[in-house]
């Protein structure tokens, strides 16, 4: 049985004081429910958040990593560095990194392989642009991403993977995919996993929806059969909003 998984993606937001205030508030509000949760924060906040959330059941995630362990990669952070400070998750292939930071399916694949050799679980983001959707190519685009990103990964690894379906036209725009549109794509992703692996792996992989998910629409999205959770941007910046999504 898949457990619901609600993860926050702070992106490049939150000062140190705001992060501390958020952590205190979330700890106060969070009841160890049947819902898994994590906050994916900027690197500078990770160590403190990991300490703040220790023993609470709230996980901490990074928003990127490098696939090499060390070396001449100025500005990068390696997986062993994240492991050392107790990080649980790492977002890979967010559309903003694909657009602005040259993230490709090839680098996503290398990063996923490196993460699966560690204790940190990846959250892989995929999704189509508005142009691709308007051309009716959303399934083809997402299938190509999933196939390239997971190339060479074992069934055992993919069973532990979280895939976030994030239509780019719904990210930060206030324009959420309808529950039916989101379900159709999450189911399509599960079918691709069944084709690439088998029904058992497809049943175990966690599939989140992301894109303007908020307290007002979380319940109807989470009620869809193939939507196992959410990757929450804007609505994860206030503990009161985020907790309402966890309590969908
Ligand atoms: P949003 O962002 O919830 O602000 O649309 C989601 C994401 O980019 O992960």
Query: Per-domain residue ranges for the chain?
Result: 7-13+16-25+34-238
Report which protein residue has its CA nearest ligand 1's atom 7.
233
Residues in the chain: 248
- Tell whether the model's pLDDT for residue 174 goes beyond 90: no
Atom from ligand 1 closest to the CA of residue 213: 3
User: pLDDT at position 32, please?
Assistant: 76
For 92, the enclosing helix (H) or strand (E) is strand 89-92
Spatial CA neighbour of 63 closest among 36, 39, 41, 95: 41
User: pLDDT at position 175, please?
Assistant: 84
User: pLDDT at position 33, please?
Assistant: 79
Mapped onto helix, strand or coil, the DSSP state of residue 98 is: helix
Report which protein residue has its CA nearest ligand 1's atom 2.
233
User: pLDDT at position 202, please?
Assistant: 98
Structure letter (DSSP) for residue 67: S
CATH node for 7-13+16-25+34-238 = 3.20.20.70
- Tell whether the model's pLDDT for residue 1 goes beyond 80: no
- Tell whether the model's pLDDT for residue 25 goes beyond 90: yes
How large is the average pLDDT for residues 174-199? Answer: 96
Spatial separation of the C-alpha atoms in residues 189 and 93, rounded to whole Å: 16
């Amino acid at each position: 049985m898949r457990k619901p998984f609600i993860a926050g993606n702070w992106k490049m937001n939150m000062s140190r004081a705001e992060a501390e205030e958020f952590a205190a508030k979330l700890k106060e509000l969070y009841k160890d429910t049947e819902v898994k949760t994590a906050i994916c924060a900027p690197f500078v906040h990770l160590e403190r958040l990991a300490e703040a959330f220790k023993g609470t059941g709230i996980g901490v995630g990074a928003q990127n990593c490098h696939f090499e362990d060390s070396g001449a990669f100025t500005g990068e952070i390696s997986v062993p560095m994240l492991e050392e400070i107790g990080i649980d998750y790492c977002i890979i292939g967010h559309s903003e990194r694909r657009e602005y930071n040259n993230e490709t399916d090839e680098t996503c694949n290398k990063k996923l392989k490196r993460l699966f050799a560690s204790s940190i679980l990846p959250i892989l983001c995929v999704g189509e642009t508005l142009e691709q959707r308007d051309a009716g190519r959303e399934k083809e685009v997402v299938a190509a991403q999933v196939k390239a990103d997971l190339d060479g990964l074992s069934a055992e690894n993919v069973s532990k993977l979280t895939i976030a379906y994030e239509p780019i036209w719904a990210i930060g725009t206030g324009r959420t995919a309808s529950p039916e549109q989101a379900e159709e794509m999450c189911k399509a992703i599960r079918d691709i996993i069944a084709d690439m692996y088998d029904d058992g792996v497809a049943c175990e992989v966690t599939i989140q929806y992301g894109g303007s998910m908020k307290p007002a629409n979380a319940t109807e999205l989470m009620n869809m059969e193939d939507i196992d959770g959410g990757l929450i941007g804007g609505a994860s910046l206030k503990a009161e909003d985020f907790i309402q999504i966890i309590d969908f």
